Amino acid sequence: MTTVERVRAAYARNAGADRPEAWITLRPEEEALAEAAGIDRRLAAGERLPLAGTVVAVKDNIDVAGMPTTAGSPAFAYEPAADAPAVARLRAAGALVLGKANLDQFATGLVGTRSPYGAVRCAWDPTRISGGSSSGSAVLTALGVVDLALGTDTAGSGRVPAALNGIVGVKPTIGLVPTTGVVPACRTLDCVTVFARDLVLAREAVEIMSGPDGVDPLCRIDTPPAPLAARPVVAVPTAEHLEGLAPGWAEAFARVVAELAASGVDIVEVDIEPLLEAASLLYGGAFVAERTAAVGGFIAAHPELVGIDIDPIVAGIVAAGAAATAADYFRDRERLDRLGLEGLSRLVGAVALLTPTTTWHPTLAEVAADPVGANSRMGRYTNFANLLDRSALAVPAGVVDGRPFGVMLTGAPFADRTLAQLAERIASPPVELLVVGAHLRGQPLNHQLVAAGGTFVAEVRTAPDYRLYALPTTPPKPGMARVERDGAAIAGEVWRLSASGFGRFVAALPEPMGICSTRLSDGTSVAGFLCEAVALDGAADITSFGGWRAYRAATA
């Protein structure tokens, strides 16, 4: 596929994705196509462009020349003179930036709902949060609109949204990728991160972006990792620190641990209480003052915008740091050092700590009812990493109740490549997908499922919560919609795909189709096709036939 073809596909996919809130700035298609044509000409001339044809979204606290940087606040917006080095290095390798992605304002939050540009909904289930603060970046990647996206991570913003949307999230060691051109959340803790559906592409992007730029004083030179032992040791939390996970997540985590052990990894249980206590200092101690130093002056100068342009939760968090004194900071710094020494000493001999990436996946309503408490639960396993100078990597690990479950490997500074090697051993449990139309066995699009590595599992029926419509498409296919009343059970098939095969399949879905959690007649949930409501206007309601095959037979 040429770069021009990939860009056209990206805009078509975006049009049917039903996540307009994921973008803050989207380039005009003609402008992006002109740049794509230039990349194709450079390739034809023999230029080496390792990321040619790669379409990218950039979190809108990272500068991209020609687009405003808002950090999630229209009043804060400015026009950058140049790309951030991270962006410039991707573009020099042939990547094309499609636009700027939505975020929790000033990169403050792990929920993806704290933005005047709208709450970003999960790629799989629009009733649930996307995770933040790199919300738009993760969702656009999961939906297949872009191939990779840049985020930032201070408390877990490059990892939590990856887990909730079923993609890879790479948080490099602090300083490997310059943060020049990034609106800071906490300048000494911030990292530029990468989302992708494929670990290899995500790691390639990090390697391309890494290295000092001569401007960021916190940049560091990467050091080669030690070879991975024949039987590496990986630590996991003791049972008490896995309490409170979403239903089914503890069992899913146990499966991942068992799979990793079967691959030749020695597993040891470790009491991680000191690390969790250290994590609480990120927002509960004087370290929050660094957020005040970053954007507190802007918020204090515009009190009239709080509740309008400035999110009140964000404003409260940032303002709280003003009360911290220098003595408070040094006391908390000493406490962090001692907790870090104790916690990390318990991991001696282990190349990584394996945990669930987060603890739950709340609905938009649950976060709205308890915005601070809900957010706090998201960062249990992520908040300590940057405070204690850790590298980390979040990877998908299957589906629970029709939604993604993810795990995280956290390691020493500069252990980034080692974590990637371990992540390759995590055989993600397969994804089960419900199909009800043209992808059924014997139907014209079934070959797409087969090509993605899918295998037939069973004939099923949905719960009586859906209606089916015949769409005017070529080839003919139906659209299924969830309804609050007057629903019916729809016949379909469940197919099983690997996580990577599922990602490829979803990325190729045309509008107006999307993937959402779908309830079956036995009460379980699987991923399934749902159709955008706008595409159903004027479509024939064929629910009474009970399924697509019965409708096609009756109208043949």
Name the residues annotated as catalytic: 59, 133, 157
Considering only CA atoms, which of 528, 460, 516 is closest in space to residue 490? 460
Q: Which residues, at least 6 apart from 515, have a Cβ–Cβ distance to it below 8 Å?
A: 123, 124, 433, 506, 509, 527, 528, 529, 530
Phi, psi of 34 (to 5 degrees): -65, -40
What tokens appear for 450 in the block? Answer: 């087969």
Query: Can you tell me the distance from the alpha carbon of 43 to that of 39, in angstroms, rounded to the nearest whole number?
Result: 6
Q: Is 233 helix (H, G, I), strand (E, B) or coil?
A: strand
Asked if the peptide bond before residue 133 counts as cis, ω within 30 degrees of 0, the response is yes
Pairing of β 455-461 and β 491-497: antiparallel
Q: Identify any residues that bridge with 355 across adjacent strands, giving them in sequence order.
A: 408
Q: Is 514 helix (H, G, I), strand (E, B) or coil?
A: strand
* CB contact at 8 A, 85 and 180: yes
Cβ-count burial 58-97 (b if 16+ within 10 Å, e if not): bbbbbbbeebbbbbbbeebeeebeebbbbbbbbbebbbbb
Query: Can you tell me the distance from the alpha carbon of 439 to that of 436, in angstroms, rounded to the nearest whole number?
Result: 7
Considering only CA atoms, which of 456, 470, 452 is closest in space to residue 531? 470
Query: Can you tell me the distance from the alpha carbon of 184 to that of 425, in angstroms, rounded to the nearest whole number?
Result: 34
Query: Can you tell me the distance from the alpha carbon of 504 to that of 261, in angstroms, rounded to the nearest whole number?
Result: 28
Query: Can you tell me the distance from the alpha carbon of 423 to that of 409, in angstroms, rounded to the nearest whole number?
Result: 8
